[in-house]
Structure 1
Amino acid sequence: MSYSIGSRIKILRINHKISQEKMAEILNITAHRYSLMERGQGDISYDIIKKIADSFRIPTDEITKAVTENKDLITLFREENMDTAIVESVGKVQEIVKVFSAHEKLHNQINSR
């Protein structure tokens, strides 16, 4: 499993104030297995990704997009053995920048009319 997916799942879980134990219960897996998935050390099936997405009421690509969009930067930080919290923070900053850029683009389109 990609570290990026595990990191994304962890961020979603924390943002929704759900414990690892509760997520494991929702997914009908052990807490240990869930913990491994968040750390990128356990396999994750599409069915599990789908269950996670459904529980947060988001499309599956909200979980898997981190793999394609953040891969280069996250890989760089991992290669430098950066702390997990730093890698997660970088992912959050990238998401904020993306949202800000989209908002700015929309604002410019509205003002150009």
Structure 2
Amino acid sequence: MIGKRIKKLRTESDLLQKELARDLNLTQQTISLYESGKRQPDYETIEKIADYFKVSVDYLLGRTDIKRPTENLNDIVPKGVLELLSAEELDFLWDAAKNKQQLMLLRESRGLTNKDLAKAIKVIKAFVEDDVVIDERDKNNKT
């Protein structure tokens, strides 16, 4: 499982094996062996990989599909809301927490019910994804 997760994270980050290896101070062959499941990283390397991709060790080990722990999200939204969101939506929420405008929207929505706040997060996610698609189209049209 860990090999599949490493490969998934690497490809989602548009990294080559040799780039990830360089960044982690490993060899490309080592990354290849991890991804193919022919070799398992030691715990120190697992922690290094988790820190690099900003995911939990539990995610890397396949013990959860949630990339990042949700405890810190309780400062942004109530726990009841977190339980209504998918793993993908929780990842979006982590990213939204880094964006000042999106974080402000989330904090202003404190008076909503958990169900309504979960819906609002889904709507914000849809708007952000739509903006990304539009930005990509604009870039492609300019070239």
Hey, what's the Cα distance between the residues in 1 that align with 2:2 and 2:25? 19
Q: Calculate the aligned-residue CA RMSD, in Å.
A: 2.7
State the match for 2:52 in structure 1: 55
Following TM superposition, by how much is the alpha carbon of 1:99 offset from its aligned partner in structure 2, in angstroms?
3.3
Hey, what's the Cα distance between the residues in 1 that align with 2:32 and 2:38? 9
Residue identity over aligned pairs, in percent, reads 33
1:4-15 paired onto structure 2 within 5 Å: 4-15=1-12
Q: Which runs of 4+ in 1 moved over 6 A?
A: none
Structure 2 gaps, min length 5: 66-85, 91-112, 117-143
Question: Is 1:43 paired with 2:58?
Answer: no
State the match for 2:31 in structure 1: 34
Question: Higher relative CO (CA 8 A, sep ≥ 6), structure 1 or 2?
Answer: 1
State the match for 1:99 in structure 2: 87
Hey, what's the Cα distance between the residues in 2 that align with 1:25 and 1:99? 29
Hey, what's the Cα distance between the residues in 1 that align with 2:21 and 2:46? 12
How does the TM-score come out when normalised to structure 2?
0.45
Higher percent of residues as helix: 1
Structure 1 gaps, min length 5: 71-97, 103-107
Does structure 1 conserve the Cα–Cα contact (< 8 Å) formed by 2:58 and 2:64? no
State the match for 1:83 in structure 2: none
